[in-house]
C-alpha cells in the first residue's frame, strides 16, 4: 500500500485507464511511487505493466485518469522537462546504431549545451560506475555484446543524473550468466545512487532480488502490492500463489 | 551522422552553381543583335534553317540556328513566344494545321494578312512545292497495278506507315482516309526510318515529301493524288514582325531567298545531306555560294565535350533541385501519413506522364531550350527520391524513435540526429535511381532544343546514321553507369560506420 501521499511521490497515477481499441491495457489503476525507493512492476506479458511505465513519461496517454510527476499533472507541454528528469531503459537498449557509444551518451547533453569535455568526463565517470571499459566508448553498438549494450543504455539514461530511473525489462534479452552479473551490478548502482527506480520484469526471482516493493499486475489491474514476504505469507488469491510457485529458487527465508 | 548529412547537402549547391557559368543556350557574346532561326526535325528544314543563317550572315546579321527543335507545334509556339525569330514553314501546314480558319490555297496575300495580326511575317514562296505524297516500291506498285491513291482502296491488306505528324494532321492520314475511302489502318513511324521499313518490305506504303531525296534512291513510285486531296506546300520563311525593326537586313535576306530554290535544287540538297552524308551547313553554303564558316567541321572530341557539358547541366541542375524539394517532401509525407499518401500519389502520377509528353508540356511554361528540359527532368526525378525518403523514415525501428522521444529530444533534433541518419541510405538509393533515370531521359531534351547526348541521337535518326546515334547513345549509357558508381561511393562514404556493421548477437 502507498506509503506516501501522491503529491509527495516521484510519480503517481490516479484512476488511470489506457484502452487500445476498446481493450483496457491499464484499468483504473491508482498507485504512488515514493522517492528514493525501488518499485518493481511484475506480471505476465499483456498484464499492462509496460503500458503503465510508458504512461509515466507520456509515451502513452491515459484514456481516463491522471498521471502526476512530482505532484503535478502531466501535460503535453511539460513532457520534455519531465523526460529529462527521468532515465529510461528498454529491453534492447534502444541505442542509436549510427552513433558511437559516446555519440549516444552525448546526444542530449550536447543539445542542452554541455561542452565536449564535460560530456566525456561524465561518460568516463559513468563507465566506471557501470563497469564498462572506457575503450568501448568509441565503439558502435553493433560492436558491443548484449550486456555491454545494456550497460551503455543505463549510462545514457544516467547522463543528466535524473532523480528517477524507469527500466522496461532491461535484462530480458540477455543470457543467464550475463544477466546474473548485470543484476548484481544494477542493484549495486541503484543502492549507491539512491534514485527512485521503477522497473518492469516478468521474472519473480529478479523482482524479489531488486525490489523492496513488488506490484503484481494482471489484466491491467494491480493484483497485489507489497514486499516479497507479503506475497509469500499472504497471497491475495490463487493466481498470486501460482505466479510464485512458477518461479523456483526464490531467495529469502522460508515461510 | 551530422557530418555525413552536412556533406550530402553541401555538394548540392556546387552542382547547381557550376552549370550557369557554362549555360547552354544563353545570350550571345558581344553586343551585336542576334537573331535566332529554328528548324524542324527533318533534313530539309535543317538545310533551310542553315540557308537562312548563312544568308543573314552575308548581310552582317549574326544568326544562331537552333536545329531540329521538333515538330510543327513546337516551332510555331517557339516563334509565337519569341524563343526563335524565324523558321521555314509550308503554306499547306499553315492553312491546314496552324490557321484552320483560312481557306486552303487562298494565296500568300491572305496568309500574310492573317499572320500579321499575330505579329508574324511571311516571305513569298521560296520556289518549290514540297507537298505530301504517298509512295510505294515501284515493283510492288507495278505488280498490283497501283498508280493513284484511289487504287489503294482495292488492296485493304496493304500495310501503311506514316510519319507521326502525318498521322494526326487534318491534312494527313485522317483526311486522306476519308477522302479516298481507304479501308485499312496505318501505323505511326519516324519519317527517316519509314524509308528503310518500306525498302525492306516491312511496310507497303508511306507518306513522302515530294522533295525527298530517297524517292529516286529507293526506286519509289509516287502515287497520283487523283482527288487533289493534298494542298500546296510552298516553302516559305516565317519570321517575327519585330525583326523588321531589330534586324531589317535579315528580313531582307529572307525575302530575297523567295523564288530562288526550285524542286530539283531542294531535292539535290536533301540528297547531299541525307544520302551523301554531307553537313547541312556546307550544303547550304554551297547553295548560296559562300564559305561555310568556321566550326563547320568541329572536332569529334570537342563536339562530344559540348554534348557532355550540356547533358551534365541538364542532369546536374534538375537532380539538385529534385533533391532539395523531394527530401523535404518525403519527410513531410512520412510525418503526415494521410497527406503523405497524397504527395506520394501526385509524384507517382507525374511519373506516369510519358516523358516525351512531359517535355513538350513544359514548353508553354518555359519556352524551348534547357529550361523546360530541366523542369521536366526535375519533375521526373521527384518520385524516386520522395518515395525512398518516405520509406527510409517510416522504416526506422520504432523502438529507436521511442528511445529518442523518451530521452527528451525535441522533434527537430530527433529528425536531424536520429531519423535522417538512419534514412540516409534509403534516401541516397533514391537519388541514385533518379540520377540514372535522369541521364537516360535527358536525351529527350534535344527534341526541345536542350542539346546534350540526345542531339547526335536525334540527328542520327534524321540522317539514318547508326554511327551518329551511337555517338550519343554510348556516352549516355556510360554517363548513367558513372552516375551509378559515383552515387555508390557517396552512399558508402556517407553511411555512418555503425550502420554498415552487421549487428552482433
> Among B1, B400, B502, whose Cβ lies nearest the Cβ of A94?
B400
Name the residue with higher pLDDT: B75 or A5: B75
**Inter-chain residue contact A96 with B403, CB threshold 8 Å:** yes
- The DSSP letter of residue B123 is P
> Among A92, A108, A145, whose Cβ lies nearest the Cβ of B407?
A108
Q: Answer whether residue A125 is part of any domain.
A: yes
Q: Answer whether residue A17 is part of any domain.
A: no
Indicate the average pLDDT of chain B.
85
pTM of the full predicted structure? 0.72
CA pair distance B59, B255, nearest whole angstrom = 12
Q: What is the pLDDT of residue B30?
A: 44
Q: Answer whether residue A140 is part of any domain.
A: yes
How does residue B334 score in pLDDT terms, banded at 50, 70 and 90?
very high
Q: How far is A70 from chain B (nearest CA, A)?
A: 17
Range of the domain at A114: 95-161
Q: What percent of chain B has pLDDT over 70?
A: 91
Which segment of A161-170, B38-47, B295-304 scores lowest on mean pLDDT?
Answer: B295-304
Question: Which tens digits make up the pLDDT trace of B448-482?
Answer: 878 899 988 988 887 778 888 898 999 999 999 99
Question: Which tens digits make up the pLDDT trace of A121-141?
Answer: 999 999 999 999 999 999 999
Name B26's Cβ contacts closer than 8 Å, sequence gap at least 6: none
Question: Which tens digits make up the pLDDT trace of B183-222?
Answer: 988 888 888 788 888 988 889 999 988 888 888 888 899 9
Q: Phi and psi of B188, rounded to 5°?
A: -90, 145
Best residue in A96, A145, A159 for a mutation probing chain B (most B CBs within 10 Å): A96
Q: What is the pLDDT of residue B504?
A: 39
Long-range CB contacts for residues B150-154, cutoff 8 Å, separation at least 24? B150/B180, B150/B226, B150/B227, B151/B223, B152/B180, B152/B182, B152/B184, B152/B205, B152/B223, B153/B180, B153/B181, B153/B182, B153/B183
Name the residue with higher pLDDT: A212 or A156: A156
CA distances, B364 to each of A176, B152, B215 (Å): 72, 40, 37
Q: How far is B492 from chain A (nearest CA, A)?
A: 13
Q: Answer whether residue A135 is part of any domain.
A: yes
Q: Are A168 and A50 in contact (CB under 8 A)?
A: yes
Best residue in B396, B408, B420 for a mutation probing chain A (most A CBs within 10 Å): B408
Task: Quote the number of domains for chain A.
Answer: 1
How does residue B10 score in pLDDT terms, banded at 50, 70 and 90?
very low
Q: Answer whether residue A131 is part of any domain.
A: yes
Other residues' Cβ atoms within 10 Å of the Cβ of residue B258: 18
Q: Which residue of A has its CA nearest to B405?
A: A59
CA distances, A86 to each of A112, A167, A234 (Å): 15, 10, 33
How does residue B14 score in pLDDT terms, banded at 50, 70 and 90?
very low
Residues 62-101 in A contacting B (C-alpha not used; CB under 8 Å): 79-81, 83-84, 86, 88, 90, 92, 94-100
Q: What is the pLDDT of residue B318?
A: 96
This model of the complex carries an ipTM of: 0.86
Q: Answer whether residue A25 is part of any domain.
A: no
Q: What is the pLDDT of residue B240?
A: 95
Compute the C-alpha angle B460/B464/B469, nearest 5°. Answer: 30
Average pLDDT for residues B223-237, to the nearest whole number? 90
Q: What percent of chain A has pLDDT over 90?
A: 52
Name B148's Cβ contacts closer than 8 Å, sequence gap at least 6: B223, B224, B225, B226
Average pLDDT for residues B64-86, to the nearest whole number? 90
Q: What is the pLDDT of residue B373?
A: 92
From chain A, pick out residues whose CB is under 8 angstroms from the CB of B408.
79-81, 83-84, 108
Select from B365, B363, B374 the least CA-distant residue to B317: B374
Q: Answer whether residue A132 is part of any domain.
A: yes
Q: What is the pLDDT of residue B32?
A: 54
Q: Answer whether residue A118 is part of any domain.
A: yes
- The sign of the CA dihedral A217, A218, A221, A224 is negative
**Inter-chain residue contact B497 with A90, CB threshold 8 Å:** no
Domains of chain B: 2-21+299-500 (1.10.3720.10), 34-129+233-288 (3.40.190.10), 132-222 (3.40.190.120)
Q: What is the pLDDT of residue B45?
A: 94
From chain B, pick out residues whose CB is under 8 angstroms from the CB of A98.
1, 421-422, 496, 498-499
CA distances, B447 to each of B39, B279, B308 (Å): 11, 20, 16
Q: Which residue of A has its CA nearest to B417?
A: A107
Amino acid at each position: 500500500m502507498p506509503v506516501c501521499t501522491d503529491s509527495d511521490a516521484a510519480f503517481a497515477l490516479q484512476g488511470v485507464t489506457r484502452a487500445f481499441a476498446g481493450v483496457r491495457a491499464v484499468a483504473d489503476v491508482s498507485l504512488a511511487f515514493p522517492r528514493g525507493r525501488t518499485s518493481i512492476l511484475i506480471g505476465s506479458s499483456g498484464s499492462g505493466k509496460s503500458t503503465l511505465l510508458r504512461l509515466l513519461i507520456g509515451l502513452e496517454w491515459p484514456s481516463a485518469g491522471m498521471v502526476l510527476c512530482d505532484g503535478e499533472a502531466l501535460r503535453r507541454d511539460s513532457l520534455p522537462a519531465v523526460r529529462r528528469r527521468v532515465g529510461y531503459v528498454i529491453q534492447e537498449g534502444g541505442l542509436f546504431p549510427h552513433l558511437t557509444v559516446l555519440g549516444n551518451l552525448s546526444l542530449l547533453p550536447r543539445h542542452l549545451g554541455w561542452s565536449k569535455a564535460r560530456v566525456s568526463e561524465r561518460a568516463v565517470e559513468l563507465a566506471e560506475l557501470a563497469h564498462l571499459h572506457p575503450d568501448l566508448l568509441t565503439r558502435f553498438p553493433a560492436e558491443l555484446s548484449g550486456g555491454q549494450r545494456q550497460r551503455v543504455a543505463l549510462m545514457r539514461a544516467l547522463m543528466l543524473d535524473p532523480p528517477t530511473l524507469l527500466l522496461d525489462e532491461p535484462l530480458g534479452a540477455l543470457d543467464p550468466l550475463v544477466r546474473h552479473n548485470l543484476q548484481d551490478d544494477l542493484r549495486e548502482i541503484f543502492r549507491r545512487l539512491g534514485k527512485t527506480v521503477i522497473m518492469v520484469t516478468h521474472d519473480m526471482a529478479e523482482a524479489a532480488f531488486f525490489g523492496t516493493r513488488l506490484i503484481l499486475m494482471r489484466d491491467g489491474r494491480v493484483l497485489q502490492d507489497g514486499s516479497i514476504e507479503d506475497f509469500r505469507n499472504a497471497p491475495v488469491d490463487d493466481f498470486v500463489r501460482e505466479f510464485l510457485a512458477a518461479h523456483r529458487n526464490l531467495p529469502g527465508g522460508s515461510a | 551522422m551530422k557530418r555525413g548529412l552536412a556533406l550530402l547537402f553541401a555538394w548540392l549547391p556546387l552542382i547547381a552553381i557550376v552549370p550557369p557559368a557554362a549555360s547552354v543556350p544563353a545570350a550571345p557574346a558581344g553586343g551585336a543583335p542576334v537573331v535566332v532561326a529554328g528548324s524542324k526535325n527533318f533534313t530539309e528544314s535543317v538545310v533551310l534553317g542553315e540557308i537562312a543563317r548563312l544568308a543573314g550572315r552575308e548581310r552582317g546579321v549574326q544568326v544562331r540556328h537552333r536545329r531540329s527543335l521538333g515538330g510543327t507545334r513546337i516551332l510555331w509556339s517557339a516563334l509565337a513566344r519569341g524563343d526563335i525569330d524565324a523558321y521555314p514553314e509550308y503554306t499547306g501546314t499553315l492553312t491546314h494545321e496552324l490557321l484552320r480558319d483560312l481557306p486552303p490555297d487562298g494565296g500568300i496575300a491572305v496568309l500574310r494578312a492573317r499572320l500579321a495580326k499575330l505579329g508574324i511575317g511571311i516571305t513569298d514562296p521560296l520556289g518549290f512545292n514540297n507537298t505530301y505524297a504517298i509512295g510505294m516500291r515501284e515493283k510492288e506498285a507495278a505488280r498490283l497495278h497501283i498508280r493513284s491513291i484511289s487504287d489503294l482502296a482495292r488492296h485493304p491488306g496493304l500495310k501503311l506507315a506514316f510519319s507521326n505528324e502525318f498521322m494526326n494532321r487534318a491534312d494527313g492520314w485522317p483526311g486522306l482516309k476519308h477522302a479516298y475511302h481507304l479501308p485499312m489502318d496505318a501505323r505511326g513511324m519516324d519519317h527517316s526510318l519509314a524509308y528503310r521499313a518500306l525498302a525492306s518490305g516491312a511496310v507497303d506504303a508511306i507518306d513522302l515529301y515530294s522533295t525527298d531525296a530517297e524517292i529516286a534512291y529507293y526506286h519509289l513510285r509516287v502515287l497520283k493524288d487523283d482527288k487533289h486531296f493534298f494542298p500546296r506546300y510552298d516553302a516559305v520563311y516565317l519570321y517575327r514582325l519585330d525583326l523588321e525593326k531589330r534586324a531589317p537586313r535579315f528580313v531582307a535576306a529572307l525575302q530575297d531567298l523567295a523564288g530562288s530554290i526550285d524542286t530539283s535544287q531542294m531535292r539535290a540538297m536533301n540528297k547531299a545531306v541525307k544520302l551523301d552524308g554531307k553537313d547541312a551547313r556546307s550544303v547550304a553554303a554551297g547553295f548560296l555560294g559562300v564559305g561555310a564558316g568556321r566550326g563547320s567541321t568541329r572536332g569529334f572530341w570537342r563536339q562530344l565535350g559540348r554534348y557532355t557539358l550540356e547533358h551534365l547541366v541538364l542532369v546536374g541542375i534538375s537532380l539538385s533541385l529534385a533533391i532539395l524539394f523531394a527530401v523535404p517532401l518525403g519527410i513531410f509525407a512520412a510525418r503526415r501519413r494521410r497527406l503523405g499518401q497524397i504527395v506520394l500519389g501526385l509524384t507517382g502520377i507525374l511519373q506516369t506522364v510519358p516523358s516525351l509528353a512531359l517535355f513538350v508540356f513544359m514548353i508553354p511554361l518555359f519556352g524551348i531550350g534547357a529550361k523546360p528540359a530541366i523542369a521536366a527532368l526535375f519533375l521526373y526525378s521527384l518520385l524516386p527520391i520522395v518515395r525512398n525518403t518516405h520509406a527510409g523514415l517510416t522504416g526506422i525501428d520504432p523502438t529507436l524513435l521511442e528511445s529518442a522521444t523518451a530521452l527528451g529530444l525535441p522533434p527537430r533534433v530527433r529528425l536531424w540526429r536520429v531519423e535522417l541518419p538512419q534514412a540516409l541510405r534509403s534516401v541516397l538509393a533514391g537519388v541514385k535511381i533518379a540520377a540514372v533515370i535522369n541521364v537516360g531521359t535527358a536525351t529527350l531534351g534535344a527534341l526541345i532544343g536542350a542539346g546534350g547526348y540526345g542531339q547526335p541521337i536525334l540527328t542520327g535518326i534524321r540522317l539514318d546514321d547508326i554511327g551518329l546515334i551511337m555517338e550519343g547513345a554510348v556516352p549516355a549509357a556510360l554517363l548513367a553507369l558513372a552516375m551509378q558508381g559515383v552515387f555508390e561511393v557517396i552512399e558508402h562514404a556517407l553511411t555512418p560506420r555503425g550502420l554498415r556493421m552487421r549487428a552482433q548477437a
